[in-house]
Structure 1
Amino acid sequence: MYVFDICDTLYFSNTTFDFIPFVLEREKAFLRKVLFKIYTIRFSPIFLSFYFLNKITSIDHCRKYSLLLLSGISKDDLYSYGREFHSQYLKNKEVKETHLKLKEAIKTGEIVILLSSSIDPIVDAISQDFNVQYQSSSLVYENDICTGKLAYDLTNKKHIEVTKFQAGEELITVVTDNFSDQELMKLAETRYAVIYKKSAKQFWDPLKPYYIDLS
């Protein structure tokens, strides 16, 4: 069984933060686009406030308030935008090295699972394109309208979720760039660490992974 992270592993993208302005542009939500920029521009007073709040509360306030900008949009529209986002934006940001591994695993009949803290409209679109299973963070929908809140956050829980896909003691291969996936990597027989800086090897070396070096 192969398990793939998505953001900066399969695509050169933080998919949630790239998806939100993509949606707001199509919704012609000018004020929300301005708010998104204020929330995410580094060293803006609000961004810095979020940063320090994150340290105190361990809650990603930048992500929390950015997701609220999707409130009021229907689930159907978000999933439609997710498919557009995948075909029009993410397709141009594929990491070829990890996509080759993904396609090889599928071709040889391996079970492939996408585990991502990204939100469901995005990950669902990617999983449909490759016809694989997934678990992601998921938004709250009330009467099929997005509230901008998370029903479930997969962050730091991938090592728990992966057991739901395993058949007994099935061995897994994990491909990720994400330091927070350390516990997931520990469960793997074969590990591939995607790195963007040589210094990342200091973090991963104890687990003896194969490296996909994009530095």
Structure 2
Amino acid sequence: MSATRIFDVCGTLVLDDTTIGLMRWHFRRLGLKRRWILAMAAHRFSPVRYAFSAVERVTKSHVLKHVLLALLYREEMNDLNRSAAEYADWLLENRRISEVQEILEGLPAGGRIILASASLEPIVAALATRLSASYVASELEAAGGRCLGRLKHDLAGRKIDALDEKLGLGWRICPYLAVSDNLSDRSLLAGAERAYVVLHSERHRKRWRELEAEYISI
């Protein structure tokens, strides 16, 4: 069995978009009115979200995420980390994908588990702590202990580079296991000794054609 086990987070380990989820949890916990702006822009039936989705299909980038991160401007990182800890506990209790949980629980002792996610570092780090895992994630820019409302390092589309930086180039030579629902992780999955693709719809199966993988339909 692979010594390194790599798991995506959003839509793989848990059902939620954890960037939006963390912001929603944080604003609600502190009673901040910005939660209404977030709700208006992030709701899946929102015309604002539809408009950004159209832009994102053209630009191939997560425009909405970067716009919404501005709502975190001047938030204390310690407060955000506390929100992430609470949200991580709730996610693992209520929003885990059972089939992926079974893979995690069935792994033999030894080796290393790595959460590789373009979500925000506070929530990925909190989840990793609870799972005794390492992680790579998108890092928020901060100064004086406060968030600046933008990313310092965005992991979207560059998880392999981030893993290279964390583990050294040798990790690619050794067999590894990878689990993801994210099409941008195709190269990561293609290099795995054992790859699992999480399907949120059977229609998505054709996106992964020619990839040797085991499929998890949820």
Question: So what's the TM-score if we normalise by structure 1?
Answer: 0.91
**What is the distance in 2 between the residues matched to 1:44 and 1:123?**
27
CA offsets 1:15-45 (integer angstroms, 9 cap, x no match): 1111111111112111x11211221234544
**What is the distance in 2 between the residues matched to 1:207 and 1:36?**
37
Provide the aligned length of Structure 1 versus Structure 2. Answer: 212
SS in 2 for 1:65: helix
Whether the aligned pair in 1 keeps the contact of 2:190 and 2:212 (CA below 8 Å) is: no
The one-letter code sitting in structure 2 at the alignment partner of 1:35 is I
SS in 2 for 1:207: coil
Q: Pairwise CA RMSD of aligned residues?
A: 1.8
**What is the distance in 2 between the residues matched to 1:209 and 1:45?**
36
The equivalent residue for 2:147 is 146
CA offsets 1:93-114 (integer angstroms, 9 cap, x no match): 1111111212333x52121111
CA offsets 1:107-146 (integer angstroms, 9 cap, x no match): 5212111100110110010011112110001111111101
Shift in Å at residue 148 of structure 1?
1.3
5+ residue gaps, structure 2? none
Q: 1:196 to 1:24 in 2, by over 3 A?
A: same
Deviates further, 128-137 or 65-74: 65-74
Whether the aligned pair in 1 keeps the contact of 2:8 and 2:115 (CA below 8 Å) is: yes
Whether the aligned pair in 2 keeps the contact of 1:175 and 1:192 (CA below 8 Å) is: yes
**What is the distance in 1 between the residues matched to 2:39 and 2:72?**
14
**What is the distance in 1 between the residues matched to 2:8 and 2:52?**
25
Deviates further, 41-50 or 157-166: 41-50
Question: So what's the TM-score if we normalise by structure 2?
Answer: 0.89
Deviates further, 7-16 or 96-105: 96-105
The equivalent residue for 1:72 is 74
5+ residue gaps, structure 1? none
The equivalent residue for 1:92 is 94
The one-letter code sitting in structure 2 at the alignment partner of 1:54 is E
The equivalent residue for 1:24 is 27
Q: 1:58 to 1:208 in 2, by over 3 A?
A: closer
The equivalent residue for 2:42 is 40
From 180, 190, 197, the equivalent of 1:176 is: 180
**What is the distance in 1 between the residues matched to 2:49 and 2:204?**
26
Amino-acid identity (%): 27
The equivalent residue for 1:125 is 126
Whether the aligned pair in 1 keeps the contact of 2:6 and 2:115 (CA below 8 Å) is: yes
SS in 2 for 1:10: coil
Whether the aligned pair in 1 keeps the contact of 2:140 and 2:152 (CA below 8 Å) is: yes
The equivalent residue for 1:202 is 206
